[in-house]
Chains A and B, each alone.
Chain A
């Protein structure tokens, strides 16, 4: 069964789009086709949040509301969702609770960021948290820039509106919406367009394998938080697009006593609680990964597949010990993550192969995890340096060390010299920490760019080795960190 329209719900009605430009964004559709201009474009690259809309979908029988950046979300990625925009919140002239709180607290000045902010808070409102605090609000707003207000009145509005989760018109018709979703049959493939230009959203891995074999040059998209920018900024004339988001099997998270694996459809947000459970630093890193919107769309595997030397998950996963499962047609192979990255923009992946999932080894009882993401701005920024440590300590001695860095080389890379320099040494000795830092000199010769200079990167990398080992040796993080303290878990989970 194949459906030849992109279909979603809009204000309770089914919308079918038969002939879209496959690379059209949801924002362009809203503003240029539907002419709903409440949703704004501030950057067209996922960083300002002015375009935030909410997609509601069914997950485990529940309606789940998530904010997304409509500017880089392809129209086809809205397939099967209820698309909710700023125009939909007020009911019969009466403002939604979020909206009236924003008015009451003077949360808008120029008003251009406001629709996006209201939608992000609307999504938070529907997260169903028992209580919402300042860190929750900050987290929900990390992908929304406001240049006028300085955020304080917005935060106040949010805390007031979210103080007691009341129900709104969307809750009232949740059953109806869930019922309406049934018409987008989950098992049917979606293929819109023709051989030359199409948006395909297969429902099963078998269909995916068929499509990849038939169109080996097609672009795979998962969350499109990278690919979206190739379109809006690079103006790449992409014609054949295959979206992984409808393949149920790929959205699986599997956990055993020793391992944790994420399928190619698992978003950062879905992965977040499982990662946070590994170690508080994982929770903190997940919280600081992109923004709430980026985490809702972007996938963990996409962060590996894009091969970026400054991606956050690769160093963290390399430190844990991880392997990548690749599939070509119906044959699978597995490679250790550190061997997947060969050189800048070059990965151990054959044409026709896609990543099926990534599997992490969970830390053992003697393993200590430390993750540090150093950025110009604390939230929603790309790392200048990303450092990840798994240090095994037995009887006061370092028995094993896995240290990996991002931002220090053309690929995410292990610091083998630093590892070698500390193995067998007592964790408590300052000289051990220094030896580790010294070892890095042999591991890396980083580059200078607009994020940071080579000297800074090297200095910080060395210092992070000292910081990690000092903490593992028992120095409390309250004397080594200014935020993300381990003693107070920031993760909401």
Chain B
């Protein structure tokens, strides 16, 4: 039996869990007193690092002349691959990410050397004095380049069921198409930064802005050639992560550690924003080739979806990312005969990596795009096509064989949103508007999200915590999760406070440290609270059980009559302060500390045979968006958005709504204004916020209605909550579909050639393809 207070909660109303408490650092955030790594006081003698990167995308290094760099003002050391005592490898798994390129370069910006100098300015200036020569090779930039060369970073992979090829030829409605999905820069507001402090002997303490302190520890140890136990990696908070600091924070931490080891001084590496954008990976961009077969009424018979992912120069996390695209290429729809295949293509661009949704958004967008095409071809309302194809009794199995047990949640949620957003009446109003409006067109779409929760690499589904109760009744809370703004620290603290029946201010949430909680999983896959919250609850329960037993024995009452509430402990007729009891326990030689561990039940996934249950449960949501487009310029405006999202029983509704709104807006940027443009030499042309445009306040619809779906997680998660970090990103697909819908109005039935992101230029191109875009 798993510990769960779900039933218990009915009898004892919750005091902390379920409350909209503000972020644990909110008052410090607003005063500028929350410290990020670059804000930590710098010990005397702190040195600063800048990176020298490759100017070419593919080729052999002929000369790397660093003389002028070394002799530049303020320079203390210049480090290259030759200075690495351990392995020149900062990859998460595959051994294919050198910290510094040695003989060949594989993308523009790839690190060649690091300058360590007295000031950051001196380091940056010295970098530019390098004289290097390369024997250039023609780079692979696009999916097509990689296909021509047949170069991949990992083997192809596919799964499916039935005979899709045969079913496709027999289907009454046959559709096929190809479209492109752009990547996305994380644009965490705090860029990559690490601060390494050398200790005694080989010891190294690294403050890294990382979602994965354990990997930072491992990579630093690997690069320095020392055991893991000599490296401590610590993270108090990040100024945003979004996946971009999962595997790709390690390199900067390792370079800082190498510099610290080399100079015996504290060394800090903070990437300049433009460097950050050129040197770190992004959301994968895709080409999708698809075929769909359906009955005349629009129910899908068969689908063949081929996902061609541009992975960049190395594997990084592309195995899991593209797998997740495949796992979500069904979104919410039952596909009887189906094949989902993928290729992980190697290009001479930065290695693409985790980004909120971890490939899921691309797979899901592909499917929604196909559904819209099907609606157009059959002349039916897209929402009707969606509903007709939802998972349902008799159609419950995903293309990877997992049963969708709670599809009734999806149906109920979409029905509720359809009503609350007034979808049908607005559809009519929009049709009427479009009939009278040659230049401005409106579109409406309601799209669902079904997102699998758990790491698809089963071993990562574990969390751990370390809780101390001090003899004054204050609580020290450590767990393996990192805080990047998502409110994890607060949620876990709420859980622990609830367990002990104490107020929040008794709990001190500690920075995440590999020295406190070892061998952690990254804070990713939306699983931070599920794993660490549960682990912390187990630790608190264990301590509480010992305190209870002690009190019961001391005062001769039945343990069942001991209640922890409002900072007090009722022991039969007697009431003690929580601190009082803690003190008494200590005097009674009761252990008030607990390290605990939790592993997600039920998940198994055999990738080779594509069987199992990769996800513990699904999180559901849906969004209804309305847009207007200008057919003369392709400009677009989001007029209204309604969201209904399933977070199970919310641990903190304000935090959850914040994740939903923020995730939606991030998805909105991905699908509309955020465009990564590489030139034919492999240089990223949009490497700064001046050219890469994430949403600003005025991009948010004024009419924006967000609600939580009422329902408990049917699986036994912490307080029956559901993960919320990633799924909301995909709610923004409704905007993309609404744009498609607006363009479609120009010529119903004709395929709309719209790629993502739907920039004004992309929209205008599609408008022209449907005979519009010329004015009156």
- B440 close to A463 (CB less than 8 A): no
> Given A86-B31, A141-B697, A233-B274, A37 and B187 touching (CB < 8 A)?
no
Residue of B26, B34, B36, B274 most packed against chain A (CB within 10 A): B26
The answer to whether residues A95 and B654 also contact, given A47-B690, A112-B190 and a CB cut-off of 8 A, is no
Binary A-proximity of B702-730 (CB < 8 A = 1, otherwise 0): 10101000000000000000000000000
Query: Is there contact, CB below 8 Å, between B636 and A106?
Result: no
In the assembly, what is the distance between CA of A482 and CA of B699, in Å? 13
Which one of A47, A85, A451 contacts B689 once the chains associate, using CB atoms below 8 Å?
A47
Bound: A9/B686 CA distance, A? 38
- Using known A-B contacts A377-B696, A382-B690, determine if residue A481 contacts B630 with beta carbons closer than 8 Å: yes
* Cβ–Cβ contact A37 & B39, under 8 A: yes
B662-706 interface with A by 8 A CB criterion: 662-666, 673, 675, 677, 685-686, 688-691, 693-700, 702, 704, 706
Say which one of A271-279, A339-347, A351-359, A452-460 lies at the interface with B.
A452-460
Nearest CB of B to A46, in Å: 8
What is the number of residues of chain A that contact chain B, defined by CB distance less than 8 Å? 92
A107, A235, A463, most chain B CB atoms within 10 A: A463
**Residue of A whose beta carbon sits closest to that of B654:** A106
From known contacts A376-B759, A377-B699, infer whether A483 and B637 are also in contact, taking CB-CB under 8 Å: yes
Which B residues touch A442, using CB under 8 A? none
Q: How far is the CA of A359 from the CA of B760 in the complex (A)?
A: 34
Q: Given A47-B690, A142-B698, decide whether A464 and B632 contact each other with a Cβ distance below 8 A.
A: yes
- Asked whether B439 lies within 8 Å of A108 as measured between CB atoms, the reply is no
Give 1 or 0 for each of B35-47: 1 = CB within 8 Å of chain A CB.
Answer: 1101101000000
- Considering only CB atoms, which chain B residue lies closest to A142 in the complex? B696
The verdict on A109 contacting B637 (CB below 8 Å), with A42-B191, A150-B666, A481-B440 known, is: no
Is A18 part of the contact surface with B, judged by Cβ < 8 Å?
A: no
**B632–A40 touching, CB < 8 Å:** no
Known: A37-B38, A150-B664, A464-B633. A86 touches B689 (CB 8 A): no
Q: Which residue of B lies closest to A46 (CB)?
A: B690
- A413-466: which have CB < 8 Å to B? 430, 433-434, 437, 449-453, 456, 459-460, 463-464, 466
A145 B188 Cβ-Cβ under 8 A: no
Q: Provide the residues of chain A in CB contact with B52, threshold 8 Å.
A: none
Of the residues A45, A95, A372, contact of B31 by C-beta under 8 Å: A95
CB distance from B645 to the nearest CB of A (A): 13
Binds A, one of B162-170, B236-244, B466-474, B579-587: B236-244
CA distance A23 to B614 in the complex (A): 56
Chain B minimum-CB-distance residue to A457:
B761
Residues in B whose Cβ lies below 8 Å from that of A137 = 697
Asked whether B632 lies within 8 Å of A460 as measured between CB atoms, the reply is yes
Minimal Cβ-Cβ distance residue in A for B698? A138
Tell whether, in the assembled complex, residue B690 and residue A463 are in contact, meaning their CB atoms are under 8 Å apart.
no
Assess the A110–B32 pair: CB atoms within 8 A.
Answer: no
Q: Which residues of B sit under 8 angstroms from A482, Cβ to Cβ? A: 440, 628-630, 635-637
Cross-chain contact of B658 among A147, A149, A377, A480 (Cβ < 8 A): A149
Task: Contact check, B30 vs A118: say whether CB atoms are below 8 A apart.
Answer: yes
Is A467 engaged at the interface, CB distance under 8 Å to the other chain?
yes
Q: Mark A41-85, 1 if CB is under 8 A from B, else 0.
A: 111111110100000000000000000000000000000000001
| B437–A479 CB distance below 8 A | yes
Contact A480 B440 (CB under 8 A): yes
Q: Which of B199-207, B290-298, B483-491, B597-605 contacts A (4 or more CB under 8 A)?
A: B483-491
Minimal Cβ-Cβ distance residue in B for A104 = B22
Q: Which residues of B contact A40 (CB under 8 A)?
A: 32, 36, 189-190, 239
CB distance from B43 to the nearest CB of A (A): 13
With A42-B273, A148-B485, A470-B775: A115-B632 Cβ-Cβ less than 8 Å: no
Cα A182 to Cα B486 in complex, Å, equals 48
Q: Is A489 engaged at the interface, CB distance under 8 Å to the other chain?
A: no
Residue B33 at the A interface, CB < 8 A? yes
Interface size class of B (residues with CB under 8 A): 35 or more
Question: Does B161 sit at the interface, judged by CB under 8 A?
Answer: no
B127 to chain A, nearest CB (A): 9
> Closest A-chain residue to B29, C-beta based?
A111
Given contacts A109-B487, A141-B696, A154-B697, contact A38 B689 (CB under 8 A): no
Q: Which of B32, B658, B691 contacts A37 (CB 8 A)?
A: B32
- Residue of B at shortest CB range from A37? B39
| Contact indicator B662/A150 (Cβ below 8 Å) | yes
A151 to B695, CA, bound (A): 9
B27 within 8 A of A: yes
CB distance from A342 to the nearest CB of B (A): 26
| A39 located at the interface, meaning its Cβ lies under 8 Å from any Cβ of chain B in the complex | yes
- The answer for the CA separation of A115 and B239 in the assembled complex, in Å, is 12
B310 at interface, CB cutoff 8 A: no
A107 nearest CB across to chain B (Å):
8
Whether B273 contacts A45 by the Cβ 8 Å rule is yes
Q: Which residues of A have CB within 8 Å of B29?
A: 102, 108, 111, 114-115
Q: Which residues from chain A contact B700 at a C-beta distance below 8 Å?
A: 150-152, 155
B25 at interface (Cβ–Cβ under 8 A)? yes
Give the shortest distance, in Å, between A308 (CB) and chain B (any CB).
12
Q: Cβ of A87 < 8 Å from any Cβ of B? A: yes
Q: A380 and B696: CB pair below 8 A?
A: yes
Interchain CB contact under 8 A, B237 and A374:
no
**Complex interface: chain B residues within 8 A of A104 (CB):** 22
CB of B296 to closest CB in A, whole Å: 37
A147 with B23: CB separation less than 8 A: no
CB within 8 Å of B: which A88-118 residues: 89-90, 95, 98-100, 102-104, 106-115, 118
0 or 1 for each of A372-404: is its CB under 8 Å from B? (1 = yes): 101111111110100000000000000000000
A129 interfacial by beta-carbon distance below 8 Å:
no
Query: Could you tell me if B697 and A138 are in contact, using CB atoms closer than 8 angstroms?
Result: yes
Q: Nearest Cβ distance between residue A457 and chain B, in whole angstroms?
A: 9
Contact B760 A376 (CB under 8 A): yes
Known: A114-B29, A376-B759, A377-B673. Is A463-B632 also a contact (CB below 8 A)? yes
Asked whether, in the complex, the Cβ of A99 is within 8 Å of the Cβ of B30, the reply is yes
Q: Select A451's contact among B636, B662, B691, B768, beta carbons within 8 Å.
A: B691
Report the separation of the CA atoms of residues A434 and B186 in the bound assembly, to the nearest whole angstrom.
Answer: 43
A249: interface (CB < 8 Å): no
Chain B residues near A430: list those with CB within 8 A. 776
Inter-subunit contact B30/A95 (CB<8 Å): yes
Q: Is A250 an interface residue (CB 8 A)?
A: no
**Minimum CB distance partner of B119 in chain A:** A32
Q: Are A147 and B36 in contact (CB under 8 A)?
A: no
CA distance A88 to B20 in the complex (A): 28
Specify which chain B residues have a CB less than 8 angstroms from the CB of A106 in the assembled complex: 20, 22-23, 26, 654-655, 657-658
What CA separation (Å) do A463 and B36 show in the bound complex?
48
Contact assessment for B190 and A114 in the assembled complex, using a CB-CB cutoff below 8 Å: no
A102 touches B39 (CB 8 A): no
Per the 8 Å Cβ criterion, residues 12-70 of B in contact with A are 20, 22-23, 25-36, 38-39, 41
Q: Are B666 and A147 in contact (CB under 8 A)?
A: yes
Choice from A110, A142, A450, A460 contacting B764 with Cβ under 8 Å: A460
The reply to whether B760 and A134 form a contact with Cβ atoms under 8 Å apart is: no
Residues of B that sit less than 8 Å from A by CB? 20, 22-23, 25-36, 38-39, 41, 124-125, 128, 186-191, 237-242, 272-274, 437-440, 484-487, 628-630, 632-637, 654-655, 657-658, 661-666, 673, 675, 677, 685-686, 688-691, 693-700, 702, 704, 706, 759-761, 764-765, 768, 773-776
Q: A114-B29, A480-B630 are in contact. List 10 more A-B contacts (CB 8 A).
A: A41-B38, A48-B273, A102-B30, A110-B485, A111-B239, A142-B697, A144-B697, A145-B187, A456-B760, A459-B773
A selection of 17 A-B contacts at a CB cut-off of 8 Å is A37-B39, A40-B32, A45-B689, A98-B30, A108-B29, A109-B485, A112-B36, A112-B485, A115-B31, A115-B32, A150-B664, A152-B661, A152-B706, A235-B124, A379-B696, A437-B775, A482-B440
Give residues in A with beta carbon < 8 Å to B.
31, 35-48, 50, 85-87, 89-90, 95, 98-100, 102-104, 106-115, 118, 134, 137-139, 141-142, 144-155, 233, 235, 372, 374-382, 384, 430, 433-434, 437, 449-453, 456, 459-460, 463-464, 466-467, 470, 479-483
